[in-house]
Amino acid sequence: MIFIGRPDWGKGGMIGTLKQRDLARAFGRQDPEPPAATAVAGWRYHHIGIPTQTPRPDERYLPRLKMYVSGFETSPYGIQWMRFDADSTYPEIVKTVPHVAFEVDDLAAALEGKEILIPPNSPGEGVTVAMIVDDGAPVELLAFQPSARRSKSTQYDRKRSSAASAGLSHAPDRSTP
């Protein structure tokens, strides 16, 4: 929930709590404005997951998850391709519809009031993930433990230096959280 109030709503203002979707509807997002998930809730873009049925170069098989992944480690835009085994138990929407993923500080708070598609789980050391559905689209939320975040930042800084030397000089500076 988000606490809001606008002075143009009259004496005393209309103050209350609204969910992110209600906030977006109340104010009407304009083209240059970021979505409420990042601007208000503080979520940070992590990746976009794109399901595919076509094998991709350098894909890596994750037997426990019954899926192949590729691209995330090398994409400057956070594009991750996902190819699922026929007997994968992921929901059909995850296997067929692209999802956007955000890093959050407090996964439990981020899930409050949301339609949960996949409950919180830990696919790897130092990270907990969950998936929600928003207006028919899957959205992944990730929370990293502080120790995982430090090592991730160090890895990112090394990749950023490599990207800059490879001509991707507009790589963002993530030196401040």
Residues 123 and 38 in one domain: no
Q: What is the pTM of this model?
A: 0.72
pLDDT at 141: 98
Q: Are residues 2 and 63 in the same domain?
A: no
Alpha helix locations (H) across 19-106? 20-27, 36-39, 92-96
The pLDDT value given to residue 164: 44
If one counts every other C-beta atom within 10 angstroms of the C-beta of residue 32, the result is: 5
For residues 173 and 168, what is the distance between their CA atoms, to the nearest angstrom?
Answer: 12
Read off the pLDDT of residues 93-122 as tens digits, 9 standing for 90 and up. Answer: 999 999 999 999 999 999 999 999 999 999
Is residue 72 assigned to a domain?
Answer: yes
Find where tokens 């009407």 sit: 28
Same domain, 119 and 157: yes
Strand partners for 61: 68
pLDDT per position as a tens digit, 6-34: 344 333 333 344 566 666 666 678 888 99
Q: What integer best gives the mean pLDDT of the chain?
A: 80
Query: Strands of 115-124's sheet, edge to edge?
Result: 60-62, 67-70, 79-84, 44-51, 99-103, 137-144, 127-134, 115-124
Supply the range of the domain harboring residue 23. Answer: 1-42
Rounded average pLDDT over 140-152: 80
| Residue in this structure with the two tokens 């240059």, named with its chain if needed | 32
